């Protein structure tokens, strides 16, 4: 195990808590137990599953309810080959992320909530609702298995629209962040319905101000701009002419190939003063107040 990974394992052990009572955990694989309420947890695919039995039951019902909605999907080899490039382009992201990372060194505790298999930096602790490849801790974003005031930076990209109660999730970010800690969020606005496995809502700047009202908002701006929004919408509009799931999916893929390039025009529009009115997505950098 290299040094970064063993340091990360130490970080994980120091921040995780019992999701039932937030008590300290004793982790000796394959067993995890709470020193306060006595709840026991397990590992799956080398990943601690820190969810209460009630949350797991709720999650299974949630997945069963929403799982069949994902259309179109790359669920065959032909479709994977023909699946068009995504319609979103965020030209300022590399510079923005470099600036964000420069504020946190290797001793910082950084948690990516809803990371799926993405790993933005090797020392980032990833949390998701299932043990996907690359996930470090399985937990419920509405009740994070993480102690109070223990995290320096929360990353959360393209997740809040998919959770059942975004306000509770943001309240959890506030609880686990140390005073002065940051949350980095990306959230869609002008994007079509995209269940993963569900898709509940969009927020405007006003909505984001309300959702992050416990925080000091350092930055709120467009990430993918109006032409990304247009590329997404045109793809869906052209496909919506068709009735069947199969014909819709093929039309969606073909119109995706015809229109995806529109997104690159955002290099020009993304920083315009009114681009947020129909932008594809926004980002927020918000700080938990010191007191």
Residue 26 as a binder of Zn ion (CB under 5 A): the answer is: no
What is d(CA 46, CA 185) in angstroms, rounded to the nearest whole number? 28
Residue 261 near residue 85 (C-beta atoms within 8 A): no
């999916």: which residue's tokens?
249
Residue 13 as a binder of Zn ion (CB under 5 A): the answer is: no
Residues 77-116 within binding reach of Zn ion (CB under 5 A): none
Residue 21 as a binder of Zn ion (CB under 5 A): the answer is: yes
Task: Write the DSSP string, 95-125.
Answer: HHHHHHHTT--TTS-EEEET-TT--SSTTPE
The window from 14-22, 46-54, 208-216, 253-261 that contacts Zn ion (CB under 5 A) reads 14-22
Please, what is the minimum distance in Å from the beta carbon of residue 189 to Zn ion? 39
Count of residues that bind Zn ion according to CB under 5 A: 8
Residue 34 as a binder of Zn ion (CB under 5 A): the answer is: yes
Please, what is the minimum distance in Å from the beta carbon of residue 24 to Zn ion? 9
Q: What is the 3-state secondary structure (H, E, C) of 196-265?
A: CCCCCCCCCHHHHHHHCCCCEEEEEEECCCHHHHHHHHHHHHHHCCCCCHHHHHHHHHHHHHHHHHHHHH
Out of 9, 23, 83, 131, which residue is the one contacting Zn ion (CB under 5 A)? 23
Instruction: Tell me whether strands 137-138 and 177-188 are parallel, antiparallel or unpaired.
Output: unpaired
Please, what is the minimum distance in Å from the beta carbon of residue 146 to Zn ion? 13
Residue 32 as a binder of Zn ion (CB under 5 A): the answer is: no
Residue 20 as a binder of Zn ion (CB under 5 A): the answer is: yes
Interface residue list for Zn ion (CB under 5 A) = 18, 20-21, 23, 34, 36-37, 39
């Amino acid at each position: 195990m290299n040094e970064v990974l063993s340091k990360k394992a130490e970080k994980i052990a120091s921040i995780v808590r019992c999701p039932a009572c937030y008590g300290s955990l004793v982790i000796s694989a394959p067993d995890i137990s709470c020193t306060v309420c006595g709840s026991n947890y397990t590992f799956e695919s080398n990943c601690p599953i820190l969810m209460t039995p009630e949350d797991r039951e709720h999650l299974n019902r949630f997945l069963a309810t929403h799982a069949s909605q994902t259309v179109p999907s790359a669920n065959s080899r032909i479709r994977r080959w023909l699946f068009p490039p995504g319609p979103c382009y965020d030209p300022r992201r590399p510079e923005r992320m470099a600036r964000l990372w420069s504020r946190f060194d290797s001793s910082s505790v950084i948690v990516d909530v809803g990371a799926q298999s993405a790993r933005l930096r090797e020392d980032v602790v990833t949390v998701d609702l299932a043990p996907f490849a690359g996930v470090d801790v399985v937990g419920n974003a509405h009740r994070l298995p993480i102690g109070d005031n223990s995290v320096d930076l929360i990353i959360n990209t393209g997740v809040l629209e998919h959770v059942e109660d975004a306000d509770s999730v943001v309240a959890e970010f506030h609880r686990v962040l140390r005073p002065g800690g940051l949350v980095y969020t990306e959230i869609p606005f002008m994007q079509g319905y995209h269940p993963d496995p569900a898709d509940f809502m969009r927020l405007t700047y006003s909505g984001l101000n309300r959702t992050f009202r416990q925080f000091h908002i350092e930055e709120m701006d467009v990430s993918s701009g109006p032409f990304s929004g247009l590329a997404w919408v045109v793809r869906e509009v052209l496909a919506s002419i068709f009735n069947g799931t199969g014909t819709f999916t093929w039309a969606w893929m073909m119109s995706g190939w015809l229109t995806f390039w529109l997104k690159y025009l955002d290099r020009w529009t993304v920083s315009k003063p009114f681009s947020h009115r129909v932008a594809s997505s926004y980002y927020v950098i918000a700080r938990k107040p010191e007191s």
